[in-house]
Amino acid sequence: MAAKVEIYTWRTCPFCIRAKGLLKQKNVNFTEYAIDGDETARAQMAKRANGRRSLPQIFIDDQHVGGCDDIYELDARGKLDPLLAS
């Protein structure tokens, strides 16, 4: 069974686009929450992300894994694919 992947984004954010690109490259289905300018949604995201307000914020099976640099680092260390396959 594939992991449940959620990503909070702004539509024009280059880091968001890059993170989604990695997920698409890996053929991962994900739920995107485009929260452009919605401070209520951003506050909810920050609550889930241990206070982090930068975008994107990515969750795999309800576990916060961080932002764009974080998933690229997980991928480089060979730890992203096992999370996505869980």
CATH of the domain at 36: 3.40.30.10
Computed over every residue of the chain, the mean pLDDT equals: 96
Please report which residue ranges of the chain form alpha helices under DSSP H. Answer: 14-25, 39-48, 68-76, 80-85
Residue 51's pLDDT is 97
Full domain range(s) for residue 73: 5-85
Q: Is the pLDDT of residue 60 over 80?
A: yes
Proportion of the chain above pLDDT 70, given as a percent: 99
Domains: count for the chain: 1
Q: Is the pLDDT of residue 52 over 90?
A: yes
Beta bridge partners of 59: 6, 64
pTM, 2 dp: 0.94
